[in-house]
Amino acid sequence: MVDQDKKIEDKIMVEIKSGRLKLRSKYIFLAEKLGLGSAFVLSLILAVLFFNLVLFYLKASDGLGYLSFGSRGWLAFLESFPYLLVTSLVILIVIAGLIIRKTGMAYKRPFGYWAMGLVVFVLLAGTVLAFTNIAERIEARAYGRHPAGFLMRPFLERGFAGRHRGLAGRVIKVTEDYLGVQTPEQVERISLKHLEMPLREPVEDGMFVMAVGEQKDGIFEAKMIRVVEEGEMPMVGRGVHRRFGPLPLPPPRHF
């Protein structure tokens, strides 16, 4: 047995001296561990941040408001859902999980426990961040000139692009058959000819409205409309103000 171990040791030494087998220092192992550790921490922080942004978007945008229209609002809600934010969140959690497996931490306990703990931590930490103003600061930087904030714009802007089933914005023109509405993307013309029920209150310039229906030939044929407060969907309000500014004051009346 001793002779066999000696032979194995001699073979290993021969391989080392020939250069075919290279020894790795403890420093290299440590650097790899630190590199994976840093990547894990970064992935975890970003996952928490993205979950916080998902909560912020759902609360501050017009998405959840479409559910108040009943079955007609579901398509508008699904259209406005922040898919890019949610997809990025899932990818970040998966990356963090893969790093756990690669570092060998998962061998100490079943990987399922680590995965569950990872998800719970992200949900709890993201919910705690929702009580801060970090999401509003990210939104402000995303639409400002800050380079880092500019990278976040597609994640927040995506939910407002290409709407076909629902829209929300500020009324700038009222006629018997149409409404002119400023959205964060553009000015929309809403047809009132296909409403399934009359408006509950008169609509005036400067009011904010939500509508569900369908885009046809550049005109939004509304099926249902309701007046909302700007504070119910502050992201829409801020988007409209960024793009179009405040409404001009009406001219003074002469008596």
Position 21 in a domain: no
Nearest by Cα to 166 from 239, 89, 84, 81: 81
Whether 119 maps to a domain, the answer reads yes
Task: Answer yes or no: do 32 and 145 share one domain.
Answer: yes
Which runs of E-coded beta strand occur in the chain?
166-174, 178-182, 187-191, 208-216, 219-228
Task: Judge whether residue 174 has pLDDT over 90.
Answer: yes
Q: Are residues 85 and 184 in the same domain?
A: no
Beta strands, E only, 91-218 = 166-174, 178-182, 187-191, 208-216
Q: Where are the beta strands (DSSP E) in 101-207?
A: 166-174, 178-182, 187-191
How many domains would you assign to the chain? Answer: 2
Q: Which residue, 144, 159, 174, sits at the end of a domain? A: 159
137 and 69 both lie in a single domain:
yes
Do residue 32 and residue 154 come from a single domain? yes
Check residue 43 and give its pLDDT.
85
Note down the domain range covering 100. Answer: 26-159
pTM confidence score: 0.78
For residue 203, the domain's CATH number is 2.40.50.140
**Chain-wide mean pLDDT for the chain?**
81
Which of 148, 48, 86, 113 has its CA nearest to residue 40?
48
Q: Is residue 4 part of a domain?
A: no
pLDDT band at 95 (very low <50, low <70, confident <90, very high): confident
Mind listing the pLDDT tens digit for each residue in 180-237? Answer: 999 998 899 999 999 988 888 889 999 999 999 999 988 999 999 999 998 999 999 9
